[in-house]
Amino acid sequence: MKDAFINERTDELNHKWPDAIKREIPIYSRGNSIRSDFDRDYTRLIHSQAYSRLKHKTQVFYAPKNDHVCTRMEHVQHVASVAETIAKYLGLNVELTRAIAIGHDIGHAPFGHTGEDILNSLMAQKEGANAPKKFWHERNSLFFADYIETLSDPDGYEKTLNLTYAVRDGLICHCGEIDQQGIRPRKDDINLYDIKRPGLVQPFTWEGCVVKVSDKIAFLGRDIEDARRYHILDMGCYRQLRQIVGETLGMTKNGQTLSHSSGKAVNTTVLINDMIVDMCEQSTP
């Protein structure tokens, strides 16, 4: 339902607002700024070197010679597009949603999840096979935002990104499986470095929850298209996928096409549109 979450929106009327906008240290004021706290976070992220490096990082297929195969930078833009669409429809804070989405993978390893696995195997050789997972990109995104990335302030001094709590929380909490019970934000503003593994806690805000789901929506459609482009999926696989998608998203039911189905093809636009619509129609606070 449109604006179904407007009373849950992270704004001045939300009891979580003071915690959501707090920063580790006070941020400088330009005096003539017209941006909100979350808009400032968004621009600080897109001006960071970590964001710039995403253009050479893997989404699924690494070191592609094909310019049309998705990179990590394209992926975060797809996530931002999906998340903004959902947040706007549900009545949530679009500025917060966009900032989390654009920065959620700034700490991702090269070569995608394969690179992440290799880093962990190297750490296991040093720490022992039973050592807990040491590298996970969600925590690394938070670490980069808090300690590695810097921007020049108005006086020319390099300062950390110093993001708001709600955005930092969205970075570290954007992964993890979503079961049939759905997803709801947690209540407390915990120390984010107390989170010991991916998916251990849910995001602090509904906007963070939207990005978490949008991450999956964005890559499902795009990764399938890249697999077809590389001829990894043959026509038999494609027909099977179309059947699965139809049954899962309700594109066909009792032989009839539902109103929100945007087409029979299994491609980026059809999959993303139908998953967005399905989520918006089925979500309640």
Report d(CA 140, CA 14) in Å as an integer: 29
Cα 172 to its chain centre, rounded Å, is 10
Contact (Cβ atoms closer than 8 angstroms) between residue 281 and residue 260:
yes
- Encode pLDDT of 48-105 as tens digits: 999 999 888 877 776 667 777 778 888 999 999 999 999 999 999 999 999 999 999 9
E strand or H helix that includes residue 216: helix 206-229
Query: Model's pTM, two decimal places?
Result: 0.90
Measured CA to CA, the distance from residue 10 to residue 14 in angstroms comes to: 6
Which run of H or of E encompasses 53? helix 49-53
Question: Whose CA is closest to 267, among 233, 247, 253, 255?
Answer: 233
- In percent, how much of the chain has pLDDT > 90? 51
Q: Which CATH architecture has domain 6-213?
A: Orthogonal Bundle (1.10)
42-55 pLDDT per residue, tens: 999 999 999 999 88
- Count other C-beta atoms under 10 Å from residue 185's C-beta: 19
Question: What are the sequence ranges of the domains in the chain?
Answer: 6-213, 233-285
The mean pLDDT of 256-261, rounded to a whole number, is: 51
- Residue 259's pLDDT is 45
Nearest to 14, CA basis, from 93, 88, 83, 89: 93
159-177, pLDDT tens digit by residue?
999 999 999 999 999 986 6
The kind and range of the H/E element at 249 are helix 235-249
Q: Mean pLDDT throughout 17-41?
A: 92
Structure tokens at 158: 């390099």
81 backbone dihedrals φ, ψ, rounded to 5°: -65, -45
Q: How confident is the model at residue 201 (pLDDT cuts 50, 70, 90)?
A: very high
Structure token pair of residue 165 = 């709590």
Percent of the chain with pLDDT over 70: 89
Question: Average pLDDT, whole number, for the chain?
Answer: 87
